Structure 1
Amino acid sequence: MPFYKKFLAIMCLAAYLAGLLTAPSAHALTLGEEEELGKEFFKYVQHRYRFIEDPFARHYIEALGKRLAAVFPDPMFEYRFFIIEDETYNAFAAPAGYVFVNTGLIKAMNSEAELAGILTHEIAHVYCRHISEKIEKSKKIGLATLAGIAAGIFLGAGGAVPGDAVMIGSAAAGQAAALAYSRADERQADQIGVTYLCEAGYSARGLMEILQKIKSKQWFSDKEFPTYLSTHPGTDERLMYIDTLMNSPEFARCGQKSAADEAAFAVIKTKMEALCPGDSAAIRHFTALVEQNPADPSARYGLGLALLQNNRPADAIAHLEKVAEKSPFHPHALTDLGKAHYFTGAYEKALSILERVPPTDFYNTERYFYTAMAAEKLGLHDKSITLYKRIIQQEPRYLPALYELGKVAGEQGNLDDAHFYLGIYHNNRREADTALFHLNKALELTKDEKRKEQIEKMLADIQAFLKEQRRSMR
């Protein structure tokens, strides 16, 4: 038996004998109930917060999270990972394997080991079924309501819409203490999380580094106070405990063969810092970095991205060209260079650049999308439709392709497809009324029975959400 697993077995036995582990069969939700609760929790978050939709960022967080989750034995759920567009320092797990991390927390990190440490800790909370065990006694108020309360607690009510704040403030008053993690939960998640973090090839020093950064903000104003600290108690104790683990003989080899992809992490962090629409702060930040070190590809790529994001594609081109010449950012910079030429109206140049982007494991979505856009502008409609459909097949959540495919279908008189794809687009953007209009039209027009079932399910989900929203605002 590997030494990490021996250590985990000993720690779990000790926790059980100390009364930290409770038999799930006696107190936890059933797996089916937890799946339902997780879906309700996710819908709550999805309809109130924006996820980062950058294809590379989505694929990166999903691939890293699933690689970490795969080390845990006998998974009960399929894990899903998301980045929330929010500057507060926060990360949390929902029932049934939904794991979220905020952009603000990623921007505070300096290595993939820090991110891996945070994700593994949240996976451990799901693996130990901490929330489901606490919720069992509260089922009488309904899983959908509980999901909203739990989401409000872990996200912080500051991000909720007014009606949600009322619900969170009143209903959570009697539930927050019961649903929040205890110090015992945190210790168990650290015991198990650190063990499997090491087995995945990462040192827990990264987790300690990001916890120190989160802790350093605890004296800030309420607006800047990390939500993570209010839902994950005992940070000082956790730091001492993890340090003790890492200095023990059992963990002497932890992280010696690092599995980290620091080049990919550097791209992600740069994107999180640069992709702030309408915010000149990112331009100033990266301009200063380029002036300090003109040869730094990360700084120059960030400046190119920030300029592109702030509608200055012509200015972005010079920086992206330098990065695209030769650097770890090469395929990303080349794709963004093609985008920049597209936005200046140089469609043939854009198409030429985008078609020579080297294929990667998970960075083809934007390349295909802007290739399709350029092809459409050049009158190559069949090529553009083929590419849009390829994107949606591979990336059902990539909203720009859904919108463009719906638009092109409408222009060509295919109203069935037009309303269908636009309905999905607006549903994913949480624009319920517009989504209902398009999906009802698509339901009238389609002859495809499988598509009818898909539309009817989406309509039912939207109506259920609107009903719950009206109820919570009473």
Structure 2
Amino acid sequence: MKKRLSQKLLVLSFLITASLSSIAQSVSYTNKNALPEIGVVASDAISLDKEMIVGDAVMRQMRGQSPLIADPVLDEYLQDLGNRLVIHAENAKFPFRFFWVDNDAINAFAFFGGHIGVHTGLMRRANTESELASVLAHEISHVTQRHIARSMQAQQRSSPLAIASLIGGVLIAMANPQAGMAAMQAGQAASVQMQIDYTRSNEQEADRIGIAMLSRAGFDANGAADFFSIMAEEYRNVSRPPARLLTHPLTESRIADARSRADDYPSRFVPVSKQFELAKARIMARYSFEPDYAVEYFTAQVDKKAYRVREASLYALALAYMRTEEYDKAQEIIMGELLTKDSGNLFYLDAATDIYIAKGEPLKAVEMLSPFVENSPRNQVLALNQANAMISASRYDDAISLLKDFLLVNDEYQIAHQLMSEAYQKAKRFSQMHQSKAEVYALYGAYTRAVDELQYAYNFAKDDDHLQKQRIRARIKQFRDQEERLQRL
């Protein structure tokens, strides 16, 4: 499985390299002046518009070829946390998108267009929300200071293809370090330390700006130094450090500098975040641990009271029971205790929905969620859980109506398109089913497959439904144009 993933990621590296090669060719070779330390420069290396296009293309490839997590509950938490930081960022030129990578390495990364990925292993090691937020603030700073574009401009004397290969390899290394190193070697990269945010000056700048952002957003400014210390201690005696330390060299002076910078900001007590603890518990119970071990681990944690937030440990235990198909035990925890004290908690509502569906009682889930969906019809956790419950209850038209409304403002959420496709299939509306499948393929950058699905949709459309056929033809043209635009990059 790992070998196939690495091969796919190397293909992705080639696509990124091809894109960035032509971008690098547009770098101006006439200006040999030193690069100023202002993050909004480097527009001659790559414009903001092109940066967003490349970022979107990379994200589409990563969806299909990297171990990304599609989890509305975790997505909601991470995006909310990231947004709390972004509103305090300087030079934020575009909306940021935060996503999870199912990988136990301590790593996070940023790339073109405000895309920031966080490995589940990093979340598992973080002790506080301020520590996690410090990593996000650091990566946000890399984006707002345009360190990738500045790195490209700083190397303008190098071969454009070498620069493209270098950056393409680094982007792959973000999600899979081994595949990325292979890509960089193929591109004849001379040194890992020359990559993007690996340079000392970029790291210092991201640390400085990130800690300031962290404080302005109301977190503990010591979060960065605390997390640095955790990493340094965990890997003190390891011969080969993890990807995070390779890409973000960690020294005693850097930890001391982070402590010193934190002293410049007001000291504040930040209470334990229940949402952080629930998100961490979900990652451990669903993604990090095997089912039987998760039951054993969280049972012991609850019995020994070895937790910061009791509800988080109970929630994790319920998720573990669900994975071992002990739904009655999970229901007793979720419905019998947690929801009675916090009826609107999205983590609990999501688990309760899955329990009702697993026990063949989807209408109970629909009834439970209805008042919350009415108040927040476009919340991803509520809308997608309600649509899933409606499909399970054979209320296909209701599910389709809800998903259409949700997709008006969340048109790149693949789970919504997948649920829409399922609802259309079960309702025997095959033309629309193929159209929804086409949208899923497009989100993966598989435009040829998307066009194939639309052609199937065209064949299933009724002969007298000229409007639908016209829409399908228009969408086919859009997908072909997008594929050509990507090739032109």
| In 2, Cα distance between equivalents of 1:78 and 1:414 | 35
Answer yes or no: is the 8 Å Cα contact 2:73–2:350 preserved in 1: no
1:460 to 1:311, Cα distance in 2 relative to 1, 3 A: farther
| In 2, Cα distance between equivalents of 1:382 and 1:27 | 50
- DSSP-derived class of the 2:109 partner: strand
1:185 to 1:102, Cα distance in 2 relative to 1, 3 A: same
Structure 1 residue corresponding to 2:297, chosen from 281, 285, 294: 285
1:320 to 1:442, Cα distance in 2 relative to 1, 3 A: same
| In 1, Cα distance between equivalents of 2:76 and 2:435 | 25
Q: How does 1:34-53 map to 2 (within 5 A)?
A: 34-53=51-70
Q: What's the CA shift string for 1:333-387, capped at 9, x where partnerless?
A: 2442232021111233333333355878799434433433443444433323222
- DSSP-derived class of the 2:189 partner: helix
Give how far 1:202 is off.
1.8
Q: What's the CA shift string for 1:377-421, capped at 9, x where partnerless?
A: 444333232223233334434444422322332344433211011
Answer yes or no: is the 8 Å Cα contact 1:197–1:203 preserved in 2: yes
Answer yes or no: is the 8 Å Cα contact 1:135–1:179 preserved in 2: no
Find out whether 1:447 has 2:458 as its counterpart: no
Q: How does 1:181-330 map to 2 (within 5 A)?
A: 181-219=198-236, 225-247=241-263, 250-251=264-265, 253-255=266-268, 262-276=273-287, 279-293=291-305, 296-321=310-335, 322-327=337-342, 330=345
TM-score by length of 2: 0.77
| In 2, Cα distance between equivalents of 1:457 and 1:237 | 52
| In 2, Cα distance between equivalents of 1:394 and 1:303 | 34
| In 2, Cα distance between equivalents of 1:358 and 1:415 | 28
Between the two proteins, what is the percent identity of the paired residues? Answer: 22
Superposed CA RMSD in Å reads 3.7
Q: How does 1:41-440 map to 2 (within 5 A)?
A: 41-136=58-153, 137=156, 140-141=160-161, 145=165, 147-158=167-178, 160=179, 166-171=182-187, 173-174=189-190, 176-180=192-196, 181-219=198-236, 225-247=241-263, 250-251=264-265, 253-255=266-268, 262-276=273-287, 279-293=291-305, 296-321=310-335, 322-327=337-342, 330-355=345-370, 364-428=379-443, 435=450, 437-440=452-455
Give how far 1:71 is off.
1.5
| In 1, Cα distance between equivalents of 2:377 and 2:279 | 13
Deviation larger for 277-286 or 113-122: 277-286
Give how far 1:443 is off.
5.6
Which gives a bigger RCO, structure 1 or 2 (Cα 8 Å, sep 6+)? 2
Deviation larger for 446-455 or 37-46: 446-455
Gaps of 5+ in 1: 1-17, 469-474
Answer yes or no: is the 8 Å Cα contact 2:61–2:444 preserved in 1: no
| In 1, Cα distance between equivalents of 2:376 and 2:138 | 27
TM-score by length of 1: 0.80
Answer yes or no: is the 8 Å Cα contact 1:443–1:455 preserved in 2: no
1:93 to 1:328, Cα distance in 2 relative to 1, 3 A: farther
Give how far 1:457 is off.
3.9
Counting matched residue pairs gives: 441
Q: What's the CA shift string for 1:438-466, capped at 9, x where partnerless?
A: 24423665736565444444456568989
Give how far 1:91 is off.
1.0
| In 2, Cα distance between equivalents of 1:376 and 1:455 | 28
Corresponding position of 1:12: none
